[in-house]
């Protein structure tokens, strides 16, 4: 009798638990059916693997609804995804309900975009809603959606796949350029070695010490001759020079109008003029030598400009 009572109690407990479970399930199902929501739809041409009915719909990562149906167009490759956005969830996240009610009256929501986001680890996916700064144009449809239409955007994986050929082409071009540069390195090294060898040979053969000594001698001689010319010119026309004194004495003689004195002054002036002429005659050889050296330097710069660095060309003997 005690065993039968225990079985009866266990059976009653199981029945009660089953009734509670059924009632709870019915309650939640009824609540979900009576839950007020916005019915929207999106279309995509991508693979929606991992997305299923009751998959979550998130607005910038926050759950706001769920997927209600997924259909494929038999005549094309377009996938239709129906989903609901719940008013209570939108109200909880601070959405503008008046603006949301206006959305139901439009066939196209211009700035909102939908994207299928998959998890490669679990294989599940969800529908992500967002407002990108520069949304792409909507998918061209040959019909008018019966629900509010949210255009879709490519998934990150699709974007990478679309750009992968261009990236590979650029990578191949970059690798080809690197290979060409590597192939040119030995030639560049050979040219650099030849260049530095030529520079070393030119420096060795240019006789720079001798050229520097000749140049210093030339400029020293020229400076001395120019100084001598300057000194002679100062003695001739400088302050207190011969010509200045001659002019002053001639002016004084004319003012005095003393003919004997004028004659004497004229004779003195003539003597001073003779002295000045002698000074000029003594300066002429130095001036002529300086001019000859300047002419020689100009000719050398015109005919052999490299001689300033490498020295004069060696004189070749006449061939017999």
Answer yes or no: are the C-beta atoms of 39 and 82 closer than 8 Å. Answer: yes
Between 195 and 230, the more confident residue is 195
Between 255 and 150, the more confident residue is 150
Answer yes or no: are the C-beta atoms of 216 and 319 closer than 8 Å. Answer: no
- Residues 6+ positions from 158 with CB-CB distance below 8 Å: 46
Which pLDDT belongs to residue 60? 86
- What pLDDT, in 10s, does the model give residues 57-83? 998 888 888 999 999 887 778 889 999
- What pLDDT, in 10s, does the model give residues 276-307? 667 766 777 777 777 777 777 766 666 665 56
Between 127 and 102, the more confident residue is 127
pLDDT band at residue 320, thresholds of 50, 70 and 90? very low
Structure tokens at 200: 């070393």
State whether residue 80 is helix, strand or coil. strand
Which pLDDT belongs to residue 191? 81
- What pLDDT, in 10s, does the model give residues 154-195? 876 666 666 777 878 888 888 888 888 888 888 887 787 788
pLDDT over 70 (residue 258): no
- In the chain, where are the structural domains located? 35-154, 155-205, 206-310
Following DSSP, what letter does each residue of 33-61 receive, concatenated?
HH--EEEEEEEESS--TT--TT-EEEETT
- What pLDDT, in 10s, does the model give residues 38-54? 888 899 888 888 888 98
């Amino acid at each position: 009798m005690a065993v039968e009572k225990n079985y009866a109690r266990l059976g009653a407990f199981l029945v009660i638990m089953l009734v509670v479970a059924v009632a709870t399930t019915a309650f939640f199902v009824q609540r979900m059916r009576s839950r007020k929501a916005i019915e929207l739809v999106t279309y995509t041409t991508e693979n929606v693997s991992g997305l299923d009915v009751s998959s979550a719909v998130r607005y910038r990562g926050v759950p706001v609804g769920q997927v209600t149906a997924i259909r494929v167009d038999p005549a094309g490759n377009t996938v239709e995804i129906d989903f609901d956005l719940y008013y209570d969830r939108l109200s909880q996240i601070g959405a503008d309900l008046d603006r949301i009610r206006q959305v139901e009256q439009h066939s196209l929501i211009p700035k909102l975009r939908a994207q299928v986001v998959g998890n490669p680890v679990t294989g599940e996916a969800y529908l992500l809603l967002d407002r990108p700064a520069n949304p792409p144009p909507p998918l061209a449809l040959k019909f008018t959606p019966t629900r509010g239409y949210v255009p879709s955007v490519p998934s990150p994986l699709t974007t990478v796949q679309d750009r992968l050929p261009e990236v590979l082409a650029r990578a191949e071009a970059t690798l080809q350029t690197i290979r060409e540069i590597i192939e040119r390195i030995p030639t560049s090294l050979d040219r650099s070695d030849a260049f530095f060898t030529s520079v070393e040979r030119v420096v060795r053969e240019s006789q720079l010490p001798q050229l520097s000594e000749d140049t210093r001698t030339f400029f020293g001689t020229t400076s001395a001759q120019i100084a001598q010319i300057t000194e002679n010119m100062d003695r001739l026309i400088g302050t207190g020079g011969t010509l200045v004194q001659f002019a002053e004495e001639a002016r004084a003689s004319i003012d005095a109008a003393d003919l004997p004195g004028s004659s004497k002054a004229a004779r003195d002036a003539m003597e001073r003029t003779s002295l000045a002429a002698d000074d000029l005659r003594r300066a002429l050889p130095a001036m002529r030598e300086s001019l000859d050296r300047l002419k020689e330097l100009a000719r050398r710069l015109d005919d052999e400009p490299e001689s300033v660095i490498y020295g004069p060309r060696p004189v070749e003997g006449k061939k017999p």
